[in-house]
Structure formats: C-alpha cells, structure tokens
Amino acid sequence: MPSVLPLGDPAPPDGLLPAQAAEGAGQRAFGLYVHIPFCAVRCGYCDFNTYTATELGGGASQDAYAATAVSEVEFAGRVLKESGLPERPLSTVFFGGGTPTLLPAEDLARILTAAIGAWGLQPGAEVTTEANPDSVTPESLQLLADAGFTRVSFGMQSAVPHVLKVLDRTHTPSRVPEVVQWARDAGLAVSLDLIYGTPGESLEDWRYSLETALSYDPDHISAYALIVEDGTKLAAQIRRGEVPEIDDDDHAAKYELADELISAAGLAWYEVSNWSRTPGQACRHNLAYWRGDDWWGIGPGAHSHVGGVRWWNVKHPTAYANRLGAGVSPAAGRETLDTETRNVERVMLEARLNSGLDIPSLGGLGDTGRHAVAGLIADGLVDPAAAFKGRLVLTLKGRLLADAVVRRILPD
C-alpha cells in the first residue's frame, strides 16, 4: 500500500455507506484485508505505511495493535449491517504489511478469530499472511495453520546477498528453504515474492534468484519490478548518484526471463506479476481486487471497496487507534465511483489478468475500444486466438506494455 493517500470526498464519522454499495452485493465475494503496520527495520525501497517496533505508543503500539484491529473488525461488522448489506461469509482473508509475522502468531490468530466471529468463513476460504523469512518459526507457523490460515507468502525478494543488501533485507538467503519446509509441514500453501531490477542486480543475479526460488518448488510466485517511490531512502540514494538509476529496458529483459523460467518450471501466469502452479493456487484474495469484488481493509492507511465505494483509513497508527477508541470511523476519505469510472477501473484491472477482458462489453466504451483491439493484435500485444473468442488477453509483449494497452482501449 503506497504511503500517500489519494484525495477524495470526506468520509462520514459513522462510516455508513451509500445505498449504491449494497446493489448486487449478493453476487460479489467479500474479503478482508488486515494491515499490520510494523517492520523490524525499514527497507530502503519501501514506501508502505509501516513503522518499526519502537516508533509508536498507546493503542498504536505493537502490543496493543491486535486489540485495535479487532475493534475495527467489530466496527466493520456493524457498518455493513447498518448500511443494508447482506450477511456474507468471508471468501478470502489477507494479512499484509509491514511484516505481519512481527506480531506474535497469537495476535494474528486473535484478529482472524474476531473476523470469523463477525462474518464467518466460507468453506475452502483462502487465508493468507505475508511473512519475512526471519520472523517465523515452525511453532508460529503451526499456530497460524491451527487458527485457520491456509497460505503464507514469503518475502524472499532475491537469493543474492548484495541485492538483498541494497534492499535493506535482513534475512540470510539460506533460511528460505528452511521456512518453506516448515510452512509445508504445517500444511500451508507457499508463495514466494521476488523483486527484480534492484540497482546493481545483473541479469545473471536475477536468473540465480529465480532458479533458487523455483528449486524450492513453491505453489505460487509473485515477481515485481522494483519501483523507486518518492521519499524513500533508495530514491535519495539514486538522486545522489550512490546507486545506479532504474532502467526500464533492464526490467523488461528480467520480466521476460522470469516468465520464461517460471513457465518452464510448470507455473502459469494469471496476472502481470503473478504465476501459480494450478489455477486453483492463484491468490484468490488478489483476484478479488482485480475483479471488483468487495473487501474491507482493516488497519491504518488500509483501503476498502464495497460496490463502487472506495475509502481509505487515516495513515498514522496513533490517529487510527484514537479514532476507533472514540467510536469514530477511521476512514480519512472516500470516493463513490460512477458507472463510467467503474468501467475504466474494470478495463484497467481485468486487462492484467490471463482471463482477460470481455471484448463485446467494450462496446460500452464506444468504438474506440473495439477498434483498438485490431491494432493491438497487429502490434502483437493481444493474443489473436483469445480475441477471436471474444477475450482480450495480453501476450508477453502486451503484459510488459499493459498500461499502454489500457490507454489505447479507453476512449479519449
């Protein structure tokens, strides 16, 4: 979650949602995102809303955080009911951060239990937590599995020490196979997160990281190009010339290598930056974001979406805790999307998926959309076979230019 909140309309103190939010809610899945705003150290590239253990006090402190999060879960349960939304058990839960596993496993379990108490869990629901390889033990992973977690996503990032150093990651690469095994033993599905394009990373470094990650036989891999966000330590280092600049062509070459090696290992892409061993092992929580389902985001700076209403919580954990303590909605702002904007978001998000965009429905965007498809096929950005069947699915080249494709589809 980027640290800068968008500008939007003010959110009401009672958090109640407009009538639009409830329309057709029965057809949409409902998920929960829980933001854990703590990290052992602040990574140089990261602009997420996260704090080191000693930075915060009061209801925002690491010790009190679980109780604060549980109070938002209860608040959310009330708001959804009072806004006229049907009762829907959770189909997915995702704990992200920060480093969720920096909290004791008991705390994570307590928040999950409160959420299950508020809404219930669908049979076969996916419950994921992100984790740093150096903040888990066999016992903590077992405890999470027992509480209902089904999946863990490890922030491996790279297998090359000098790359990890630029990223300020503290774990030693050799720990990764160990924690993967512990997670397996606890019955958890395993995903590995990788970052490519770190300043100083060679193509061979990246190949080594990919091969190493694949040798652990994960169920799922996410590979993200490093984005240098304004205000991060890394951005300052690049500005001062201490580390080389990011090169988009290098990113493109590394993405192509990632797709080649990951596919060869038997995983298939289902979103621009995500690959899974089987379609069932795709991250369903993230798919819900891209398909416009409903979710509530718990925690400071967390974003939520229910039926075309998006809102985001205040960013600072102390302000967040104080609001909840006073029984006031922690939302800092919201936006209510009209049909046109929802259409733009749908194109923007669904174009990233291997299931693609429904081409006939592009008619709603005027002729631009449909006419653009022919040009996109000619330029090798869209798969012609899928287009023939009415789906706009990106080719490898198209995935690398996904944002440009979206701009070409959308009317001016």
Partner 1 sequence: MNSDIRNLDLNLLKALDALLDRVVRTVPAPTGDVDGPARAMIFDSVYDAYRGVVTYVRMVDGTLRPREQVVMMSTGSKHEALEVGVSSPEPLPSKGLGVGEVGYLITGVKDVRLSKVGDTVTNLAKPATDSLPGYADAKPMVFSGLYPLDGTDYPVLRDALEKLMLNDAALVYEPETSAALGFGFRVGFLGLLHLEITRERLEREYNLDLISTAPNVEYEVTLEDKRVVHVTNPSEYPTGKIAEVREPMVSATILAPNEFVGAIMELCQSRRGVMGGMDYLSEDRVEIRYRLPLAEIVFDFFDILKSKTRGYGSLDWKADGEQVADLVKVDIMLQGEQVDAFSAITHRDKAYAYGVMMTGKLRELIPRQQFEVPIQAAIGSRIIARESIRAIRKDVLAKCYGGDITRKRKLLEKQKEGKKRMKMVGRVEVPQEAFIAALTTDESKDKAKK
Residues near partner 1 (CB under 8 A): 1-2, 4, 6, 8, 33, 224-225, 227, 248-249, 251-253, 255, 272-273, 286, 289-290, 295, 297, 301-305, 310, 312, 335, 341, 344-345, 348-349, 352, 379, 381, 399-404, 406-407, 410, 412
Q: Long-range contacts for 74-78 (Cβ within 8 Å, ≥24 apart)?
A: 74/114, 74/118, 75/15, 75/324, 75/327, 75/329, 75/330, 76/118, 76/296, 76/298, 77/118, 77/119
Task: In angstroms, give the least distance from the CB of 10 to partner 1.
Answer: 15
3-state secondary structure (DSSP) of residue 272? coil
Minimum distance from residue 178 beta carbon to partner 1 (Å) = 27
Nearer to partner 1, 182 or 196 (CB): 196
Token pair for 164: 């990890």
**Choice between 184 and 256, CB closer to partner 1:** 256
In whole angstroms, the minimum distance from the beta carbon of 225 to partner 1 comes to 4
Q: In angstroms, rounded to a whole number, what is the distance separating the alpha carbons of residues 150 and 267?
A: 20
In whole angstroms, how close is the CB of 379 to partner 1 at the nearest point? 6
Other C-beta atoms closer than 10 Å to the C-beta of 150 total 17
* Closer of 248 and 358 to partner 1 (Cβ): 248
To partner 1, the closest distance from the beta carbon of 33 in angstroms equals 6
Output 141 or 309, the one with its CB closest to partner 1.
309
Work out how close the CB of 345 gets to partner 1 at its nearest, in angstroms, rounded to a whole number.
Answer: 6
Please, which residue, 100 or 141, has the CB nearer to partner 1? 100
Q: Specify the DSSP class assigned to residue 216.
A: T
Q: Could you tell me if 328 and 319 are in contact, meaning their C-beta atoms sit under 8 angstroms apart?
A: no
For residue 267, which of 219, 225, 222 has the smallest C-alpha distance?
A: 219
Nearer to partner 1, 92 or 212 (CB): 92
As a whole number of angstroms, the distance between CA 25 and CA 20 comes to 10
State the Cα–Cα distance between residues 340 and 345, nearest whole angstrom: 9
